[in-house]
């Protein structure tokens, strides 16, 4: 795999500009005399970056290790932005942030507003809990005794859902189709719809449109292309039958009316009965049009509905009587052997009080004309109708009728996570260190998107940098941000960058994305910024200076104008300088990019650690790292200038045991005084000034060795420095 190579000339330029770049975002960096604390004065505490913390956070965020909560212990197998699991992800991240010494702020924004097509429903045996599923797999639940009368979105099944059923043990079954294929699948939930496991899929299994369970052992399912499945062990395993047994017809509805007696209806108007779990079928041709649904109450009474027709039996299916019903009926439920409810197109509801022999039109209940795809009966008097984006609850006790509609405009919320290290000297000026915490996979992101490299590595790096900086003093505020929904169009960062705090000045942002893939011995990375933007260059130079100053084994290439899509783009769109630190160019990223294989075992943690240290060094410089508060020194001291060697400028730091008049001058190797850098009355303690590499006439001095001399009432000190042109 090709990796970016270091361009020596370009990196040399970055290194030479590093001193200037740091000062470019530091107010007052004009070389004037006076006391100041600059990021260049003290090396950032990069040695305190703990690789073990990075490994731990990546492992937990990518599902390699379990995460314990107060009520559960889980593995985070996906961080896809619209996954219900994201609430747990944010809970875990908030805990890590608090452990690092901060209080996180969760800022909500609308990820999407879904108008679902509700295709399946089922009800508990007591009639107090209703589950509804939409075609895209979202599962909603409403419990009479749950404290809220509304539906809550509790999970997403990773399939297109066409059937929802409850088995004899109270477990839920969902039938449908695998996204992106014609293959069918059955998922099962053993905890009320919160979690779903795949129990059936494979060869000759097409879209599952109906499921029926007889008892704790036996059940059958049917679907398109003659798909017939059966289970004899309570749904743990499912086996397919020869689709020729039902003429390869698409099966729409199913029911049972006794031990091993199952019924299916088809698109072509056929009714199929099996008494041996689908090994053989008896066929009846009931109609010329489509038959959509069937239901039984006990062994004897049954009803079939479809296009403009209904059929009923009172002799366990030995004979069926046809009845004209002027409607496109799609669903039927028998509350008891006499009361039957059917519904379908345009929201029409029809009721029979004599087991299907005659029908009365209810109308479009609740004034809603949306199609109904499923009907569930909670006792004799209460009906639940689901279809399109509405669930209707109809209560009809024979004397009065009431109706309540629940509209499903499902708003999915995302949350950015923000926390800060406040600056001491100029807290209103802020620099941002950010990463996105959501993930994606191209196959089934709701089920499998571990995102170890993309972007658990960036998230872990931000938290670790924050942990280290918690005990440091900074001139300006560092705002740490973890963005949601980066994978869905930079939604989180765009919301954030478009609504920056008007009371603050955002000077720059450093975005960390994918810092874990490095298969070679030489560690290389890319810094991406805009061409001709000095603010971006300044941030890039701060990274280069950190890499150089702390002798990090990282070769960083600065590329300009290449729009690597990540959250730094949102800052560019809102006028804030920003760069991206990433493992490579397009085509040089991890081969596990956006796949279920982007796991914790693929990460090069030595590389991850080095990138984190580079980010920490840069953000410390950009925020202005202050020295610890200490009493005045006992003696005069002239510290080594930084950077050294230098090109465009260098910082000179010195300490005075008491207030004094001082003079700092530069001499060449022959002893000639070339310039006075600083002169005047200074306070006790730490002081600093900057020399721009020019002599008293304003000319740049040549490459070579020079000497600094500090004179004060308490003594004199000399330091050697090197200029490289």
CATH number at residue 128: 2.120.10.30
Query: CA-to-CA distance for 323 and 662, rounded, in angstroms?
Result: 108
Classify 716 as helix, strand or coil. strand
134 & 225 share domain = yes
Q: What is the pLDDT of residue 223?
A: 96
712 & 590 share domain = no
231: in domain: yes
Name which of 113, 118, 116 is nearest 130 in CA terms: 118
Query: CA-to-CA distance for 336 and 377, rounded, in angstroms?
Result: 9
User: What average pLDDT does the segment 324-333 reach?
Assistant: 93
Q: Between 26 and 541, whose confidence is greater?
A: 541
Classify 562 as helix, strand or coil. coil
152 & 204 share domain = yes
Query: CA-to-CA distance for 469 and 149, rounded, in angstroms?
Result: 47
Residue 342 has pLDDT above 50, yes or no: yes
For residue 205, what are its two tokens?
A: 């299994």
Q: For the chain, what percent of residues have pLDDT higher than 70?
A: 91
Question: Half-sphere exposure of residue 630, counting CA atoms within 13 Å on the CB side?
Answer: 11
Q: What's the predicted TM-score (pTM) here?
A: 0.58
Last residue of one domain, picked from the residues 381, 408, 435 = 408
Contact yes or no for 293/310 (Cβ under 8 A): no
Residue 432 has pLDDT above 80, yes or no: yes
Q: Alpha helix locations (H) across 86-191? A: 86-99
384: in domain: no
383: in domain: no
250 & 300 share domain = no
- pLDDT, tens only, 433-449: 999 999 999 877 888 99
Q: Which CATH number covers residue 294?
A: 2.40.10
Output the 3-class SS for 366-425.
HHCCCCCCEEEEECCCEEEEEECCEEEEEEECCCCEEEEEEECCEEEEEEEEEEEECCCC
Which range of residues forms the domain containing residue 127? 116-273
280: in domain: no
292 & 258 share domain = no
Q: What is the pLDDT of residue 106?
A: 96
User: What average pLDDT does the segment 82-101 reach?
Assistant: 94
User: What average pLDDT does the segment 325-340 reach?
Assistant: 92
424 & 531 share domain = yes
- Alpha carbon 23 to chain centroid distance? 36
141 & 81 share domain = no
- The mean of the pLDDT values for the chain is 88
User: What average pLDDT does the segment 508-524 reach?
Assistant: 94
621 & 711 share domain = no
Last residue of one domain, picked from the residues 249, 273, 297 = 273
User: What average pLDDT does the segment 358-373 reach?
Assistant: 79
DSSP 263: E
57 & 182 share domain = no
357: in domain: yes
Contact yes or no for 529/540 (Cβ under 8 A): yes
Last residue of one domain, picked from the residues 574, 601, 625 = 625
DSSP string, 512-552: E-------SSS-EEEEEE-TT-HHHHHHHHHHHHHHHHTT-
Contact yes or no for 156/86 (Cβ under 8 A): no
**Contacting residues for 48 by C-beta, under 8 A, at least 6 apart:** 468
Output the 3-class SS for 28-67.
CCCCCCCCCCCCCCCCCCHHHCCHHHHHHHHHHHCCCCCE
296: in domain: yes
- pLDDT, tens only, 189-248: 999 999 999 999 988 899 999 999 999 999 999 999 999 999 999 999 999 999 999 999
Name which of 185, 237, 179 is nearest 206 in CA terms: 185
Q: What is the pLDDT of residue 630?
A: 63
Query: CA-to-CA distance for 102 and 478, rounded, in angstroms?
Result: 12
378: in domain: no
Q: How far apart are the first and last CA of the chain?
A: 36
187: in domain: yes
Contact yes or no for 557/588 (Cβ under 8 A): no
- CA 480 to each of CA 278, 435, 445, 578: distance values in angstroms, whole numbers, following the listed order: 60, 9, 26, 14
Position 7 confidence tier, pLDDT thresholds 50, 70, 90: very low
Residue 542 has pLDDT above 50, yes or no: yes
Please state the domain count of the chain.
4
Query: CA-to-CA distance for 13 and 18, rounded, in angstroms?
Result: 8
196 & 99 share domain = no
123 & 267 share domain = yes
Q: Which CATH number covers residue 683?
A: 2.60.40.4070
Position 363 confidence tier, pLDDT thresholds 50, 70, 90: low
- pLDDT, tens only, 453-495: 999 999 999 999 999 999 999 999 999 999 999 999 999 999 9
Name which of 119, 197, 198 is nearest 162 in CA terms: 119
Q: What is the pLDDT of residue 145?
A: 62
Residue 725 has pLDDT above 60, yes or no: yes
DSSP 158: S
561 & 449 share domain = yes
The neighbour count for residue 395, using CB atoms within 10 Å, is 14
């Amino acid at each position: 795999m090709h990796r970016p190579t270091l361009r020596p000339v370009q990196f040399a330029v970055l290194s030479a500009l590093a001193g200037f770049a740091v000062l470019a975002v530091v107010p007052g960096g004009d070389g004037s005399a006076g006391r100041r604390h600059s990021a260049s004065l003290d090396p950032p505490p990069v040695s305190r970056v703990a690789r073990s913390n990075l490994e731990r956070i990546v492992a937990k965020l990518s599902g390699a290790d379990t995460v314990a909560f107060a009520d559960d212990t889980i593995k985070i197998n996906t961080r896809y932005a619209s996954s219900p699991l994201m609430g747990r992800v944010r809970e875990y991240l908030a805990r890590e942030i608090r452990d690092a010494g901060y209080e996180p702020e969760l800022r909500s924004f609308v990820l999407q507003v879904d108008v679902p097509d509700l295709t399946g429903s089922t009800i508990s045996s007591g009639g107090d809990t209703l589950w509804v599923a939409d075609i895209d797999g979202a599962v909603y639940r409403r419990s009479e005794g749950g404290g809220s009368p509304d539906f809550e979105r509790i999970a997403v099944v990773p399939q297109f859902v066409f059937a929802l059923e409850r088995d004899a043990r109270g477990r839920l079954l969902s039938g449908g189709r695998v996204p992106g294929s014609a293959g069918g699948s059955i998922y099962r939930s053993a905890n009320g719809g919160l979690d779903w496991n795949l129990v059936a899929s494979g060869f000759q299994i097409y879209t599952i449109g109906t499921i029926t369970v007889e008892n704790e052992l036996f059940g059958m399912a049917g679907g398109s292309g003659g798909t017939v499945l059966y289970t004899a062990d309570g749904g743990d395993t499912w086996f397919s039958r020869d689709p020729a047994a039902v003429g390869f017809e698409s099966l729409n509805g199913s029911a049972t009316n006794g031990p091993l007696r199952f019924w299916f209806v088809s698109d072509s108007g056929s009714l199929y009965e099996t008494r041996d779990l689908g090994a053989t079928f008896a066929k009846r041709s009931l109609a010329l049009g489509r038959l959509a649904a069937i239901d039984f109450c006990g062994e004897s009474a049954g009803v079939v509905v479809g296009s403009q027709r209904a059929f009923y039996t009172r002799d366990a299916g030995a004979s069926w009587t046809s009845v004209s019903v002027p409607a496109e009926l799609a669903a039927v439920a028998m509350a008891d052997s006499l009361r039957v409810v059917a519904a379908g197109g345009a929201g029409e509801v029809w009721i029979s009080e004599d087991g299907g022999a005659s029908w009365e039109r209810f109308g479009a209940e609740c004034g809603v004309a949306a199609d109904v795809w499923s009907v569930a009966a909670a006792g004799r008097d209460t009906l639940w109708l689901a279809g399109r984006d509405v669930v209707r609850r109809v209560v009809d006790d024979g004397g009065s009728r009431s109706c309540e509609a629940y509209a499903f405009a499902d708003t999915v919320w995302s949350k950015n996570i923000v926390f800060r290290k406040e600056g001491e000297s100029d807290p209103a000026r802020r620099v941002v260190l950010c990463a996105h915490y959501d993930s994606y996979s191209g196959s089934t992101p709701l089920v499998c998107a571990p995102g170890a490299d993309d972007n658990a590595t960036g998230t872990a790096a931000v938290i670790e940098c924050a942990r280290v900086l918690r005990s440091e003093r900074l001139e300006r505020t560092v705002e740490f941000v973890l963005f949601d929904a980066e994978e869905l169009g930079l939604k989180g960062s765009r919301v954030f960058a478009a609504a920056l705090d008007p009371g603050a000045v955002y000077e720059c942002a450093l975005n960390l994305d994918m810092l874990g893939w490095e298969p070679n011995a030489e560690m290389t990375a890319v810094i991406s910024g805009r061409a001709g933007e000095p603010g971006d260059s300044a941030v890039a130079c701060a990274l280069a200076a950190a890499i150089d100053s702390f002798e990090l084994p990282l070769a960083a290439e600065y590329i300009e104008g290449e729009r690597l899509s990540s959250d730094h783009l949102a800052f560019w769109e809102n006028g804030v300088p920003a760069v991206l630190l990433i493992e490579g160019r397009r085509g040089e990223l991890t081969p596990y990019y956006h796949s279920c294989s982007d796991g914790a075992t693929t990460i090069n943690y030595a590389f991850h650690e080095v990138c984190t240290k580079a980010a920490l060094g840069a953000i410390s410089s950009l925020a202005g790292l202050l020295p610890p508060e200490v009493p005045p020194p006992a003696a005069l001291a002239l510290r080594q200038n930084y950077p050294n060697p230098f090109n465009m400028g260098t910082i000179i730091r010195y300490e005075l045991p008491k207030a004094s008049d001082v003079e700092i001058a530069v001499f060449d190797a022959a002893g000639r005084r070339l310039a006075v850098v600083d002169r005047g009355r200074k306070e006790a303690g730490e002081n600093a000034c900057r020399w721009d590499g020019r002599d008293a006439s304003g000319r740049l001095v040549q490459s070579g060795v020079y000497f600094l001399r500090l004179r004060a009432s308490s003594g004199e000190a000399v330091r050697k420095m090197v200029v490289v042109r």
